[in-house]
Chain A
């Protein structure tokens, strides 16, 4: 039986399996971009805007820094048994000049990463139950 792929959080990213994007908002007044979405009042203190449009963030960026989890994080993280260590990267999106953290896909470890490396956004399974696979964004070295 094939499980249904559902986003682990609604509205934070597109579910396009080939070229997913994080979804932010852009203030229609000052053009500043927010992720996660800001939808009520613009946080740029010079602006005062109250209208936003959804915007897809750059799919690629460069590694600002990276680390890993050698031990399982506490709940509400849904750790696999046995726990498999994984890397985490902070990636700077070039157009937005915004750093976004995310898990790094399996197979890429801390030793494979360096600052400035180009990464791309992919979708992967965060955890699953009997019916669903819960999907989250992850970073992967750019092809």
Chain B
């Protein structure tokens, strides 16, 4: 008996586990990306040395290293760091190394995330994996390095908050609008140390990409994980994506079982409107009509939050046959090579390029302000990212607004924040 979080830990440890317990767990996967792997490798060496064990990954096949944060490297230090990591990968024959998209998209689309898994990653948005019923959480490089060396880590099993979602989206309203609303309602530290468990008929109807958008942003209200029970859609999504340890039909599907929830929040999405998170925190949320008309210097569609095929499809349908404002730098970055190729086959990439968008290679792009759209003082951006923190995309005097791919696409055409529902009526 327990929350989905407790049930996942109970299944893993083969005994009943309750929130609040400190447990040691052998991890199913350990993910680290280009900017954090080197510190993790150093931590692995240090802990191995201290423990008197050979300094090498205990389970090479469980480690996944996607380069994405600065891909390809934008300066000499970064190139050197990535080369060092590649030498480590080569030395230890780590089988799972990728340079083809955002780490979380790679983890999910290549089948490294399965229902019931417990996974840590060197990135706070590792909570995305809850979309497939896996407990994923972000940790620092010392924890990741220790996990490289020992295959294990410790958790304080979190209490859960139930997010019950009913109703149906109006046209032009999406999962991104919902998660922005949820975060602003709970507050940016409203779920610190907790699991967010999403449930309800609206969640059941959502596609896996929509569920990823929800779970991806659980960290933005402080949550340790965002979780959705796996179902037939999860099983269907994973078909053909996994070649090892496939256990998605019987044993892998874990459901919550009369768990004790610390809090419950109910959301009916039928009346929800497009939402915009305004600078410089996610609780500064406004319905779109309050910020319509704001001039934009940059629009960015992509990231682990909204860079999937379905997101690009929404944007492409708005941009088809249109041109973006010539003074609004519009950047589109598919979340992975798979997404890029599929979008290309569907003609979306041509639509974006014909519209005047800059289409970059899969990766994190300007989300961390290092390349491919670093912003100047006084510039204003609207993006599909998950964070609008001051200085995140470059100058601390730049402003970042967050919205759905539909809002971003409609706004790029006008060069100002635009309600996608109004454009459609024209």
Bind each other: no
